[in-house]
């Protein structure tokens, strides 16, 4: 198909969700997991069902889906799975910067969808992805919201290596 997955993000998200949902602080919270890609959302959902069982089927406690399915919804904690990464051998192809950005960032370039995905949390937004993909001029020009969020986390929040 044409949908993308990134197994490393799936593993990190499921591990962190499991820890937080079973913690005393997390018992009363609702959690959402958003991806721009259906295949990634499906992968996360499947792994959560294996790890969490019935909790993974409780839409009030935990919801996993694409950004389109989260329109108008809010959760206490939201994980955003970027999926896109910077290939090690990537080189710009031609002079069309917009085309280069679409090739690298895909749906992340769509401002309205990115806005929805980054505004569904009440208490905490966790973006899971390749920080290296956001540390270049193309990212600054075409996904500035994610670049700004990364810089804010580096200055005032937390950036965890995976």
pLDDT digits (tens, 9 = 90+) for 113-150: 889 999 999 999 999 999 989 998 999 999 999 999 99
Residue 54 pLDDT more than 60?
A: no
User: With contact defined as beta carbons under 8 Å apart, do 44 and 54 qualify?
Assistant: no
C-alpha distances (whole Å) from 11 to each of 4, 5, 15, 91 are 15, 12, 6, 29
Q: What is the mean pLDDT of residues 23-52?
A: 92
Residue with tokens 């935990």: 62
% pLDDT > 90, the chain: 58
Q: To 10 degrees, what angle do helices 38-52 and 7-21 make?
A: 40
Q: Report pLDDT for 92.
A: 72
Q: Report pLDDT for 56.
A: 58
Q: What is the mean pLDDT of residues 28-54?
A: 90
**Range in 5-9, 32-36, 101-105, 146-150 with the lowest mean pLDDT:** 101-105
Q: Report pLDDT for 156.
A: 93
**pTM for this structure?**
0.89
Say which residue, 27 or 123, is predicted with more confidence: 123
DSSP state of 68: G
45 Cβ partners below 8 Å, 6+ apart?
A: 56, 64
């Amino acid at each position: 198909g044409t949908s993308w997955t990134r197994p490393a993000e799936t593993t990190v998200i499921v591990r962190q969700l499991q820890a937080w949902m079973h913690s005393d602080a997390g018992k009363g919270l609702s959690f959402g997991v958003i991806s721009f890609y259906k295949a990634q959302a499906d992968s996360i959902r499947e792994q959560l069902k294996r790890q969490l069982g019935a909790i993974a089927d409780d839409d009030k406690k935990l919801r996993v889906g694409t950004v389109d399915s989260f329109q108008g919804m809010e959760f206490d904690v939201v994980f955003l799975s970027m999926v896109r990464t910077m290939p090690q051998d990537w080189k710009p192809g031609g002079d069309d910067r917009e085309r280069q950005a679409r090739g690298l960032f895909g749906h992340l370039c769509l401002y309205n969808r990115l806005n929805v995905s980054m505004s569904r949390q009440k208490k905490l937004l966790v973006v899971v992805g390749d920080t290296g993909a956001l540390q270049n001029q193309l990212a600054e020009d075409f996904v500035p919201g994610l670049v700004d969020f990364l810089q804010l986390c580096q200055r005032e929040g937390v950036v965890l290596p995976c």
